[in-house]
Structure 1
Amino acid sequence: MSDAARIRPCPPPLLPPSPFFPARSMMIPLELPSETLKTTYLSGWPQGIYNMSGAPAPASGAPARGSFGRGRGRGRGAPRKANPEEAAWVPVTKLGRLVHDGKITSLDQIFLFSLPIKEYQIVDAFFKASPLKDEVMKIMPVQKQTRAGQRTRFKAFVVVGDSKGHVGLGWKCAKEVATAIRGAMISAKLAISPVRMGYWGTKLGAPHTVPAKVSSKAGSVMCRLIPAPRGAGLVAAGTSKKVLQLAGIEDCYTCSTGKTRTLGNFVKATFGAIQKTYSFLTPDLWVDQPLIKAPNQQFSDYLAQKHNKDKKY
């Protein structure tokens, strides 16, 4: 018997299926040398197809890998667009032009003549040194019934203030939470209001409390602010305490009635009570004040000039 006949054949291995081979198992004897096995196994494969360590090189003129043919940033897509809020402010109202060009230097000039603020950048211009603090009071889902079903949006309440006599409240509905917060913050800046401070007893030191008892109502919630002696602190619920802190009031008693669990009405009532501190004049303010022109009259010649809206300041 020959040597080849005495060798007991072993069961050949089963190669994995491949799109380059027919749908059948290739039986390769183990007795074949490695060169023969390599030649037999790869004979039907195209050149370079078995090199799986990396992707094939791009063709000539093709864009770099990962760039998809866009942008200029090392094959990572198009560059990011500039944030519109960070762009240069181009005022579109007369008040905005006066503030941007330095004709109006304080918010008191705006409050004195009750000028409406239509651009939130006007408020930011006066608080560049110490930006306004903001507090998100509540984010709540609201729904509207439509033919297709319920449409859910988010409503945010935001309070802004500098803790030095200025506070504002705003709210906004949007499909996304971030958009609602951003819109509520802008609304709060547009509704910023001065806070009048006073004393409880002896007029020593800086004003520290509300000048008199004031109250306001929103919905079923009524909030009342009562002057407190120095050192008493803010005796108030958490919602109204945050508003009073951002307003700069150090000592105050509060009294509230109604459904205070409805936070939206509660914060509106507190803000309305703070606004009423400037709705009356006490005898100490009964003095003759010199009549001055409003900014619109004082700078009428400047505002009459042609305004180039395309000009970048």
Structure 2
Amino acid sequence: MRKGNTRSRDSEFEQKVVEISRVTRVVAGGKRMRFRALVVIGDKKGRVGMSLKKGADVSEAVKKASGDAKKELISVPMVRGTIPHQIKAKYKASVVMLKPAPPGTGVIAGGPIRPVVEVAGISNIVCKMMGSASKINNVKATLKALAGLRQPKAGRGERKSDNKIVEKK
């Protein structure tokens, strides 16, 4: 099975498989094995979603997860290819810190955070994963952080001298 980028021709979304694991359930006749897929999808323009689904085989689990992830999309505000401000988010035992980075930095992120920010379309960001190493919880913490971002105000970054002052005569 090929992991990584898969973009179908009819879909505007890019999907990345973060994790595939074998899960078993004990039944009367023994153990029944299924596959669980954690999939992240995004359009590289600021929309991203994730889903965790099970299936009888890997392809079925991935297909179910990608279909469900399209229903769970969030919008991410971006400024010149990065995020507008630093943010820290916690989901269960996972803590994620995202920091904006200047152009040319690239995506500095490890593990399960990298596919989330890549499919969201963020090109310059610094990320830090603290606490739990659980892929599921770290992806959810990253999405929680991205959902908590706010768009900067319109007048931000202007100097007082830039404002035109009209004198009364």
Superposed, 1:106-255 pairs within 5 Å as 131-198=12-79, 207-255=80-128
Task: Give SS of 2:132's match.
Answer: coil
RMSD between aligned residues: 2.2
**2:151 and 2:63 mapped to 1: Cα distance?**
36
**2:91 and 2:54 mapped to 1: Cα distance?**
19
The verdict on how the C-alpha distance between 1:281 and 1:167 changes in structure 2, with shifts beyond 3 A counting, is: closer
Matched residue type, 2:148: K
**1:281 and 1:243 mapped to 2: Cα distance?**
19
* Alpha-carbon displacement from aligned partner over 1:225-251 (angstroms, at most 9, x marks no partner): 111122211111042122111111111
Structure 1 counterpart of 2:147: 275
- Give every structure 1 segment of 4 or more consecutive aligned residues whose post-TM-superposition deviation is greater than 4 Å: none
**1:172 and 1:283 mapped to 2: Cα distance?**
39
**1:137 and 1:190 mapped to 2: Cα distance?**
18
**1:248 and 1:138 mapped to 2: Cα distance?**
20
Matched residue type, 2:31: Q
Q: TM-score, normalised by structure 1?
A: 0.43
Matched residue type, 1:263: K
Superposed, 1:16-35 pairs within 5 Å as none
- Structure 1 spans left out of the alignment, 5+ residues: 1-126, 199-206, 286-313
Identify which of structures 1 and 2 has the higher relative contact order when contacts are C-alpha pairs closer than 8 Å and 6+ apart: 2
**2:152 and 2:44 mapped to 1: Cα distance?**
23
Matched residue type, 1:284: A
Shift of 1:192: 1.5
Shift of 1:253: 1.1
Task: Give SS of 1:135's match.
Answer: strand
Shift of 1:184: 0.3
**1:218 and 1:183 mapped to 2: Cα distance?**
24
In 1, are the aligned partners of 2:77 and 2:151 still within 8 Å (CA)? no
Shift of 1:282: 4.4
How many residues are aligned here? 147
**2:116 and 2:32 mapped to 1: Cα distance?**
31
Structure 2 counterpart of 1:115: none
* Alpha-carbon displacement from aligned partner over 1:80-136 (angstroms, at most 9, x marks no partner): xxxxxxxxxxxxxxxxxxxxxxxxxxxxxxxxxxxxxxxxxxxxxxx96x7211111
In 1, are the aligned partners of 2:84 and 2:151 still within 8 Å (CA)? no
**Which structure features the higher share of strand residues?**
2
Larger radius of gyration: 1
The verdict on how the C-alpha distance between 1:281 and 1:244 changes in structure 2, with shifts beyond 3 A counting, is: closer
In 1, are the aligned partners of 2:46 and 2:120 still within 8 Å (CA)? yes
What percent identity do the matched residue pairs reach?
A: 32
**1:218 and 1:151 mapped to 2: Cα distance?**
31
